[in-house]
Structure 1
């Protein structure tokens, strides 16, 4: 069985009095192998953020199932979801979600503190991670004292320190300048090469060109997918742009 299996996911949102229904996802099916780096693209309103929330156990599908290492996510008891997220999922958000009252070190440690990991083990995990992400000199600073690119590296460290099964990234380059975005995308490539499975939602074809596969979502369904194969980033970027052109014009 695939590392992550998404089977016939449908998501319907209803108004307060059930008078209006919006079908955000119609019938989404795909699988992810361990160690893959996948980007999910689509127009605003296509359903990609809804899909990410379901994969993150922040929302539940109306129909269908999601299995991560054979664990059916909708079967996890409500009271254990937060623990499951801490132990199995790593999150990288567009707006970083760092706490200004915590130092960089304490922001990174937060998921481990919540899981009651011993301080010695936290420090042991942090040292090589900080070196790899080039944030060692930032550990005693506070988020308001560092740049956007540095904040995103801290957010990546926080996502990785739990040794997650899957990293979910939601528009991770959206709040970054081009130089910081390039640096982050190179970092994701490096992390993926070391075996980390990554699933990234993005509007950016440039960001998606760093992945190994791109899923295109349109009208709540997987419209198409393309693989990098032997293409370099520039060639893959062109393939993505060509596909996006078809996606935007088909049915228009």
Structure 2
């Protein structure tokens, strides 16, 4: 098993300590190598909190996370930073590219932080440039790019470390429909090549491209759908029906 989340709980204290907010109450699930999993739920359901904990950017109040059987609890901040660089790739809604760096330098940044040689960085970049169609963008700066171009560059930055898992937070949220289609096609292609993907999304369309969808409600995994032999259209309708039931408090089969 590549990733295991066991009984994750996250409680936040309000600013003056007067009350507690339970963001996650009891989340358990696992992700196998090569899976493409989407996480959905209404606003405030705990999706982003869960992703931040999986990304080691936040710590759970209780529970465990294991990556390839390795527990990350107890790691110091410096160890966690190294763990993120070596094992995880990130794609964000707002791209998180540095405007003062060229596209090429943005993509290289995680490798620079890992003290990789220029030769190794260049050799890793070459196949990504070809796959993502960004050769003409490398010397440009992020502020010169469209949203879709920025996101392709952000995907290159996520993949250049050869991560065990790519975590994507609303990756289509700032894109127009054409750029969204291109990104989702790209995600499918890199998943078919063996890359494990875990994506938090509000988009039924984006989720319909995944092989499995987890639904979070009231801080717990409430339901899941496996794509199996379903078409994207069938998957889309199944997800939409489930979201309607979540919003209206209806009963799901098997619940």
TM range (shorter): over 0.9
The offset of 1:13, in angstroms, is 0.2
Match in the other structure for 1:178: 177
The offset of 1:81, in angstroms, is 1.2
SS for the counterpart of 1:226 is strand
Match in the other structure for 1:35: 34
Match in the other structure for 1:204: 203
Match in the other structure for 1:193: 192
SS for the counterpart of 1:75 is coil
The offset of 1:251, in angstroms, is 6.4
Match in the other structure for 2:112: 113
Q: Does the alignment pair 1:63 with 2:62? A: yes
The 10-residue stretch of structure 1 (217-226 or 72-81) with the greater mean CA deviation from structure 2? 72-81
Q: Take 2:61 and 2:197, find their aligned partners in 1: how far apart are those partners?
A: 25
The offset of 1:17, in angstroms, is 4.0
Deviations 1:63-117 (A, max 9, x none): 1101011111222222211111111100000000001111110000000001110
Q: Does the alignment pair 1:145 with 2:144? A: yes
Superposition pairs of residues 37-56 of structure 1, within 5 angstroms: 37-56=36-55
Q: Take 1:75 and 1:30, find their aligned partners in 2: how far apart are those partners?
A: 21
Q: Does the alignment pair 1:167 with 2:170? A: no
SS for the counterpart of 1:140 is coil
The 10-residue stretch of structure 1 (194-203 or 14-23) with the greater mean CA deviation from structure 2? 14-23
SS for the counterpart of 2:150 is helix
Q: So what's the TM-score if we normalise by structure 2?
A: 0.97
Match in the other structure for 2:133: 134
Query: How many residues are aligned here?
Result: 251
Q: Take 2:143 and 2:76, find their aligned partners in 1: how far apart are those partners?
A: 37
Superposition pairs of residues 89-104 of structure 1, within 5 angstroms: 89-104=88-103
Match in the other structure for 2:226: 227
Match in the other structure for 2:82: 83
Q: Take 2:169 and 2:77, find their aligned partners in 1: how far apart are those partners?
A: 23
Q: Take 2:124 and 2:25, find their aligned partners in 1: how far apart are those partners?
A: 41
> For the aligned residues, what is the CA RMSD?
1.1
SS for the counterpart of 1:30 is strand
Gaps of 5+ in 2: none
SS for the counterpart of 1:169 is strand
Deviations 1:200-251 (A, max 9, x none): 0000000000000000001101110000010111111011011111111116
Q: Take 1:35 and 1:181, find their aligned partners in 2: how far apart are those partners?
A: 22
The offset of 1:146, in angstroms, is 1.2
Gaps of 5+ in 1: none
Q: Take 1:76 and 1:190, find their aligned partners in 2: how far apart are those partners?
A: 34
SS for the counterpart of 1:74 is coil
The offset of 1:18, in angstroms, is 2.6
Match in the other structure for 1:12: 11
